[in-house]
Each structure stands twice: as C-alpha cells, then as structure tokens.
Chains A and B, each alone.
Chain A
Amino acid sequence: MPVLAYANPERFARLARSLTPWLLGSAVGLLLAGLFLGLFLAPPDYQQGDAARIMYVHVPAAWMAMFVYGCMALASAVAFIWKHPLADVAAKASAPIGCIFTALALITGMLWGKPMWGAWWVWDARLTSVLILFFMYLGYIVLWNAIEDPARAVRAARILALVGAINIPIIKFSVDWWNTLHQGASVFRADGPSITGSMLIPLLVMAVAYNVLYAALLLIRMRAEIAERRLRSIRLGLEFEPK
C-alpha cells in the first residue's frame, strides 16, 4: 500500500491502533534494559564517579528535546507545503512530549551540574539555548490554546515551529561557537565517539528507548487528536442540521 494512503486520518488511526501496543511494549523493555545497564553494568567515571550515571537520563533527554523539535518543524513545513492533513496533527501531538524531554534535560542537567560544577545553573550558551527551546515548546502549546479560530491557530503554530527551528543548530553548535562550561559533544563527533564502549552502550540503549517511547506517545496523542477533531466535526454537523 502506498505511504500516501495513510494521509487519510481514519486509515492512519487504524494503523496506529495496531502499532501502539508493540511500540509501548518495546519502549518499556528498552527503558528497563537501559536503566539496568546504566545503573548496574556501566562503570563509574574515573573523574566523576557515580555522578556520571546521570548521563544516561540526561543526554538522551537532551537529544530528544532537539529531535522532537526537529520533527515538529519538519511536520509544520510539510503542512505548509503539501497541506498534509496529518502533518499539523503530528506537530501538535509532539509538542508536549518534546516539552517534557526538554524539562528533563534541564532538571537532570542541574542535578549533574551541582556536584560537578558547584552550581545548579550557569548562563552559558548551551544551557541558555536549551532554556529558550523549553520556552519555544511552551509558547507553541499556549498558542494552540490561545487562538479560537482553528484555521488561524494552525497557521500561527506552523510559523512559530519553523521560526523556532533556528534554535536547534544553535543548541548543537553552542559548545563549539562559544566558550561554554557545558562540555562539548562526545558521541556525535566528526572523529567518532570519544566515550568508552561500556558507557556508550547504555547511553545508546537509553537513546533508542526514548525514541521508541516518543514514537509510541506520538501515535497515542495523534489518535486522540484525530478522534477529537472527528468529534468536533460531528458536533458542528449536528448543530448546522436543519431542525
């Protein structure tokens, strides 16, 4: 079946219904494996000791914060260009998930910063740009709820998502462009990961777990959104029926 057939929200909802349990199950399994690897099997860092274990919840959350925003911006672009009926639904459904991942990146980062840097927070370029990302997510969510007219809300949301995407490369390269207290990249480097395998594997398992969890939550929230839109149009249809 061609991919475009899933542009039909009802057909998409059916596919999502069959995929949801598998994705949720895999996410839980991978999360348990990742937590076990990170807490039990990974060695303590030679400098940071066991505090380095915060990495296994901090780094994947930060990656997801950026990845989910990227997906949101991409979906908004698709919605703009091809008027794909599901693209706006995908973007709207992603926002709260990305917002939670960003909050987790910030909070676990503070919990890591305090023992390592001696400060919960510093206004360096990495931390500040991620804080801006968090407010972009919040603004996007508020915007959807603030504008009554759905056609105007959808337009404003697309524009906000696209404009905010400028922040993503700024976050990624902030550690190279500015002199940050936050360390530089140690996995996605031009010369390969500089982190040892026994720490890299738990990190990657957690990253895959977070990605699968995002996929599962995205489908669940898209199904909810589609059902709500259907409900709205049924109610509108009933209201306009001649009595």
Chain B
Amino acid sequence: MTDWSTFFAMGGYAAYVWPAYAISVVSLLALAIASWTWMTRAERLASSSKSAEETAPETKP
C-alpha cells in the first residue's frame, strides 16, 4: 500500500505534477462534454426539422 502523503507530495514536485494532470483531465473532459452536447443538440434539431419537412405538403417544383 502506498503511503498517501508521500504519494501526493510527488517528491517535492506536487505543485507542478498535479496541476499538469488536473488541467489535462479537466480540459479533455470539458471538450468531450461540449462536443457531445453540441452533437446531440444538432442531431435532434436536424431530425425534428427533417420530419417537419417530410410531413409538410409537397410544394417543391
């Protein structure tokens, strides 16, 4: 079992190691969430307006 305080101290480099890991995880997670939200919203809008178009009376020349 690791001694946790030693682990978190990172041999004196905690102030550099942890921010590096934190910013990597947080920004990639934020990008993933933003991309997912954008995608679900765009696909929902596209499919709903597509079905609206399909149910609309045929007006195209």
* A residues at B contact (CB < 8 Å): 24, 35, 39-40, 44, 49-51, 53-54, 57-58, 61, 96-97, 100, 103-104, 107-108, 111-112, 114-115, 213, 216-217, 220-221, 223-225, 227-228, 230-231, 234-235, 237-238, 241-242
Contacts and interface: CB of A to CB of B under 8 A. Distances in A.
B42 A217 contact: no
Interface of B: 2, 7, 10-13, 16-17, 19-21, 23-25, 27-28, 31-32, 35-36, 38-39, 41-43, 45-47, 49-50, 53, 59-61
Contacts of A228: 42, 46
Contacts of B45: 227, 231
Given A100-B28, A108-B23, A115-B16, 7 more contacts: A39-B21, A217-B35, A221-B38, A223-B42, A224-B39, A227-B47, A234-B53
A221 B31 CA distance: 10
A108 B39 CA distance: 29
Closest 3 A/B residue pairs (Cβ): A50-B11, A227-B42, A224-B39
B46 A231 contact: yes
Q: Is the interface of B mostly helix, strand, loop or mixed?
A: helix
A11 to B, nearest CB: 15
B53 A227 contact: no
Contacts of B24: 57, 61, 104, 108
Contacts of A238: 53
A227 B20 contact: no
Contacts of A49: 11-13
A114 B13 CA distance: 10
28 contacts: A44-B11, A50-B11, A50-B12, A51-B11, A51-B13, A54-B16, A57-B24, A61-B24, A100-B27, A103-B27, A107-B23, A108-B23, A108-B24, A111-B17, A114-B16, A115-B13, A115-B16, A217-B35, A220-B36, A221-B38, A221-B39, A223-B43, A224-B42, A224-B43, A225-B42, A230-B46, A231-B49, A234-B49
Contacts, number: 104
B35 A220 contact: yes
A224 B35 contact: yes
A74 to B, nearest CB: 21
A225 B43 CA distance: 9
A96 B31 contact: yes
Nearest to A231: B46
Given A111-B16, A224-B43, A227-B46, A237 B28 contact: no
A241 B60 contact: yes
Nearest to A242: B59
Given A97-B31, A100-B31, A224-B43, A54 B49 contact: no
Instruction: Count chain B CB atoms within 10 A of each CB in A49, A54, A234 and give the residue with the most.
Output: A54
B21 A57 contact: yes
A223 B39 contact: yes
